[in-house]
A and B are shown apart, each in its own frame.
Chain A
């Protein structure tokens, strides 16, 4: 049994001018200890998916439907109290903006310690001692001093390390990282990714990493889920997806990624782009969600939404024209 099984996840938001179907029928699973990446452009519903797992979506105006089974237990059926016992304990989360994700008026030590006091019943002193250890673990120098400092006294990279320390303090089984490196400098990004990889090994948590950066995907993930307009359009292992993307959207994403040395080869120096914009999710879409931007669109695409099909061994895509193969590529 998988650690996390998401089935027919729908997260909709009520807005004054209509219902935003931010996530509309997403299925995936995460095995224990596995790293899965969810990629897509901004607004494709990947962050909402992540937040829905922990039920961090404010309801109202949002609403979550479907099922999210964690260790066999449906999180959508848990009470608020049960959810609180899971959050930060069995499933924890790292956010995109380290600058704003830490509470500016509480010390770093208190913020790390809060998780421990909530879930492990530690006293304030125990929690602070453990916070110092956690800071050491995530590679912050002088942890005894830093533990008493406020977030504004730390650099962006250090704050993200603190976020990781908070997330890992209770040895969670699943870590959801929502764009953990996007807001950081490139050199810091690499450090944070390295740290996450190391800690994953020590803690043994499964990771769901949300990103729009295919470089990050290639670096850390084992399996990739590509999302577009609130739906999953493709899923495969990292190697398969990079070598043989089936869905035109994935192909577009890969094509818009700059490659090292490509400007030197002389040919095809221009990066490809995907024309057009993500369609509004407030209207019900007919046909394939990508039809408005795809260069291969046919009448069939505009009329019938393609189902997700296994096009090759372990390689799923939602496209009428993505060819099936008998044998894995």
Chain B
């Protein structure tokens, strides 16, 4: 027995208590901040990205109040003016105020980015759930998705736009179609890996019905990856919109969008670079902010996912 104890609790009072010398700190202490401020402090990407996105949304909503003029008003007499106190970002070939066009242009980019993110999430989630749960549908659906994914997304969107009349709605639909296969794949992957989980097995073996399993076990687990994915889709949709508009297959020229302001500035870019510069700057900052938000959300929501791209 290991109880050959020398220890006599309580009774034996130590003759001389010898205290251990305390060990020093070898590192400066870690500052922890609590609450919402602490969260933002620990996730600067979310703080910075979120703030810029919020700013852009406010800018788009309150565009008429931000010292803008009618962004479509032509003024042939004041063509291609350099940026000045009067025309902050200059005027374009048709004399339209570039500043006003850029501010209003935020609307198209944000609407396209947000709508594509929401639409492709909904459609992708549905397709992914179906193919994750309905075995006979899985192989067919995934073959179709594989095929669609083999068409480079920008090319797919271009081909779709080539066949429709340019409108913001069609741009949204075209980009959504190009993004859906990726979302479906992601959801299907999540579903398949969750189905292997013991607690889902347990639910199945208890006779829980499939809709209940989806609602209780699958959907909650798709929220984190889907949120992150939707953010990235939003960023990429804004870029694709600008590319489509830039090559003349996107938003119709009558509606100012960052893409088609640049498309119109294209012919003059060597002599009047500011027409291209300002929309490019706004677009890049906005997409950057959304991407930062996505990175921050990814790190905060699912540290394991940070390892994948």
A and B from one complex: yes
Contact, CB under 8 Å: B19 / A305: yes
Is B309 part of the contact surface with A, judged by Cβ < 8 Å? Answer: no
> Is A3 positioned at the interface, with any CB of B under 8 Å from its CB?
no
Does A200 belong to the interface (CB within 8 Å)? no
Tell me whether A246 is interfacial, beta carbon within 8 Å: yes
Mark out the residues of chain A between 253 and 307 whose CB falls within 8 Å of any chain B CB in the assembled complex: 254-255, 257, 268, 295-296, 298, 300, 304-307
Q: Does A69 have its Cβ within 8 Å of any Cβ on chain B?
A: no
How close is A132's CB to chain B, nearest CB, in angstroms? 38
B19 close to A255 (CB less than 8 A): no
User: Is A25 on the interface with B (CB-CB < 8 A)?
Assistant: yes
Name the residue of chain A whose CB is nearest to the CB of B5. A251
- Chain A residues with CB below 8 A from B26, complex form: 10, 12, 63, 65
Question: Any chain A CB within 8 A of the CB of B212?
Answer: no
B255-280: which residues lie under 8 A (CB-CB) from chain A? none
Query: A32 at the A/B interface (Cβ < 8 Å)?
Result: no
Residue of B nearest to A25 (CB): B23
Q: How far is the CB of B6 from chain A (nearest CB, A)?
A: 4
Whether B7 and A10, one on each chain, are in contact in the complex, defined by CB atoms closer than 8 angstroms, is: no
In the complex the two chains form, what is the Cα distance from A324 to B26 in whole Å?
A: 34
Partner of B23, one of A10, A63, A248, A319: A10
Please give, as numbers and ranges, the residues of chain B lying within 8 Å of A321 by CB-CB distance: 7-9, 12, 14
Contacting residues, chain A, for B10 (C-beta < 8 A): 296, 298
Give the CA-CA distance A10 to B10 in the complex, in Å. Answer: 33
| A82 sits at the interface (CB 8 A) | no
Residue on B nearest A246 in the bound complex, by CB: B6
Q: Which residue of B lies closest to A309 (CB)?
A: B18
Q: How far is the CB of B111 from chain A (nearest CB, A)?
A: 37
Docked Cα-Cα span, A18 to B1, in Å, equals 41
> CB distance A323 to B8 under 8 Å?
yes
Q: Which residues of B are found within 8 Å of A300, using beta-carbon distances?
A: 14, 17
Flag if B8 contacts A244 (CB, 8 Å): no
Q: How far is the CB of B40 from chain A (nearest CB, A)?
A: 14
- A12-B27, A309-B18, A320-B14 known; A243+B4 contact, CB < 8 A: yes
In the complex, whether B29 has a CB less than 8 A from a CB of chain A is yes
Q: A24-B23, A244-B4, A305-B22 are in contact. Are A320 and B30 (CB under 8 A)?
A: no
* Residues of chain B lying within 8 A (CB to CB) of residue A77: none
The interface on chain B, measured as residues whose beta carbon lies within 8 A of the other chain's beta carbons, has a size of 27
Whether A185 sits at the interface, judged by CB under 8 Å, is: no
Q: Tell me the A306-323 residues at the B interface (CB within 8 Å).
A: 306-309, 311, 318-323
With A251-B5, A254-B2, A321-B12 already in contact, the answer to whether A63 and B17 are too (CB < 8 A) is no
User: Whose C-beta in chain B lies nearest to the C-beta of A305?
Assistant: B20
Closest to A15 in B: B30
| B6→A322 contact, CB < 8 A | yes
0/1 interface trace, chain A 1-19, chain B, CB 8 Å (1 if under): 0000000101010111111
A306 touches B6 (CB 8 A): no
B17:A311 contact, CB within 8 angstroms = no
B29 lies within 8 A of A306 (CB): no
Dominant SS at the B interface?
loop
CB contacts (< 8 Å) of B32 on chain A: these are 16-18
Bound form: Cα–Cα A257–B5 in Å: 16
B214-265 CB contacts (< 8 Å) to partner A? none
Across the interface, which residues of A come within 8 angstroms of B7, CB to CB?
246, 248, 251, 296, 319, 321-323
A142 within 8 A of partner (CB) = no
Indicate if the CB atoms of A63 and B27 lie closer than 8 Å: yes
A245 within 8 A of B: yes
B3: CB under 8 A from chain A?
A: yes
**Distance in Å: Cβ of B14 to nearest Cβ of chain A:** 5
List of A residues within 8 angstroms of B19 by Cβ: 304-307
Q: Are B20 and A306 touching (Cβ within 8 A)?
A: yes
Instruction: Give A246 to B7 CA distance when docked, in angstroms.
Output: 7
Provide the residues of chain A in CB contact with B30, threshold 8 Å: 14-19
- Residue-wise, chain B 41-56 has the 8 Å CB interface mask toward A (1 for contact) of 0100000000000000
Q: How far is the CB of A260 from chain B (nearest CB, A)?
A: 14
**CA gap between A245 and B6 in the complex, in Å:** 8
B84 within 8 A of A: no
Closest Cβ of chain B: how far from A292's Cβ, in Å? 16
Give every chain A residue within 8 A of B4 (Cβ-Cβ): 243-245
Instruction: For B150, list chain A residues within 8 Å (CB).
Output: none
Q: By the criterion CB–CB under 8 Å, are B17 and A320 in contact?
A: yes
How many Å lie between the Cα of A14 and that of B12 in the bound state? 41
Other A-B contacts than A10-B24, A307-B19, 6 sampled, CB-CB below 8 A, are: A14-B30, A246-B6, A251-B5, A296-B10, A307-B18, A325-B6
Which 4 pairs, one residue from A and one from B, show the smallest C-beta to C-beta distance? A254-B2, A296-B9, A307-B18, A25-B23
29 contacts between A and B (CB under 8 A): A8-B23, A10-B24, A10-B26, A12-B27, A14-B27, A14-B30, A15-B30, A16-B30, A16-B42, A17-B30, A18-B30, A19-B25, A19-B27, A19-B30, A21-B23, A25-B20, A25-B23, A251-B3, A255-B3, A257-B2, A295-B9, A296-B10, A300-B17, A305-B19, A307-B19, A307-B20, A311-B6, A320-B17, A321-B7
